[in-house]
């Protein structure tokens, strides 16, 4: 049995990003990791909550992403919250840097996954939601759930 090289295995998702931001454009970025970090990623020990992407000196950096230390690594273990370099094309970095200069834009990681043997991060150009936008989204989701529940109840009654 051969493995599909383009198979994607999601390691971590940043669900809070979907709640706190309006996502405008997404990008796929590679990530530079040490040996113990990639082993922790494969074990699924990653947390993207409260992390963000920062552009410094023409390079993109993933800041505050927590990759737990690998237990079998000895003194060569890594710092769990260190900044990690993202691998993007120069044009993509320039485009992102230009948009971040505009008021209200930021870059957030959405998910980390393995694509074949490579660790990738899906990042998004995002604009922060206001409190009333969050309340509106919650109310809309609740009303859709309620309509779905009522629809299931009516179809169940008709089946009798």
Element (H, E) at 104: none
20: containing domain: 8-128
Distance, in Å, from the CA atom of 17 to the CA atom of 22, rounded to the nearest integer, reads: 9
- Within 32-142, strands assigned E span 46-47, 52-56, 59-63, 66-67, 84-87, 105-115, 118-128
Residue 1 and residue 52 in contact, taking contact as beta carbons nearer than 8 Å? no
pLDDT of 4 reads 63
CA 119 remoteness from chain centre: 12
Could you tell me if 77 and 97 lie in one domain? yes
Could you tell me if 72 and 149 lie in one domain? no
Could you tell me if 145 and 71 lie in one domain? no
pLDDT of 112 reads 94
CB count within 10 Å of CB 78 equals 20
Q: Does 1 map to a domain?
A: no
**Which of 106, 55, 30, 46 has its CA nearest to residue 81?**
46
**Which of 107, 71, 115, 116 has its CA nearest to residue 86?**
107
pLDDT of 3 reads 60
How would you write the pLDDT of the chain (160 residues) with one tens digit per residue?
Answer: 556 667 889 999 998 888 888 889 999 999 999 888 888 899 988 999 889 999 999 999 999 999 888 877 777 777 888 899 999 999 999 999 999 987 778 999 999 999 988 999 999 999 887 776 778 888 888 888 988 888 888 877 776 6
pLDDT of 159 reads 64
Which phi-psi region, left, alpha or beta, contains residue 10 (left: φ > 0; alpha: ψ -120 to 50)?
beta
Tally of domains within the chain: 2
Could you tell me if 94 and 24 lie in one domain? yes
User: With a threshold of 0.85, does the pTM exceed it?
Assistant: no
């Amino acid at each position: 049995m051969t493995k599909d090289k383009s198979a994607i295995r999601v390691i971590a998702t940043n669900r809070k990003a979907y709640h706190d931001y309006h996502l405008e454009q997404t990008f796929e970025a590679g990530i530079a990791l040490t040996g113990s970090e990639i082993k922790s990623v494969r074990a699924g020990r990653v947390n993207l909550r409260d992390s963000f992407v920062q552009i410094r000196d023409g390079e993109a950096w993933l800041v505050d992403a927590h990759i737990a230390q690998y237990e079998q690594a000895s003194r060569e273990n890594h710092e769990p919250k260190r900044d990690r370099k993202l691998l993007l094309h120069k044009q993509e970095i320039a485009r992102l840097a230009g948009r971040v200069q505009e008021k209200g834009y930021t870059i957030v990681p959405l998910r980390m996954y393995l694509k074949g043997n490579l660790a990738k991060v899906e990042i998004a150009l995002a604009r922060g939601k206001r409190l009333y936008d969050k309340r509106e989204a919650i109310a809309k989701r609740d009303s859709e759930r309620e309509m779905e529940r009522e629809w299931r109840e009516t179809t169940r009654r008709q089946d009798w």
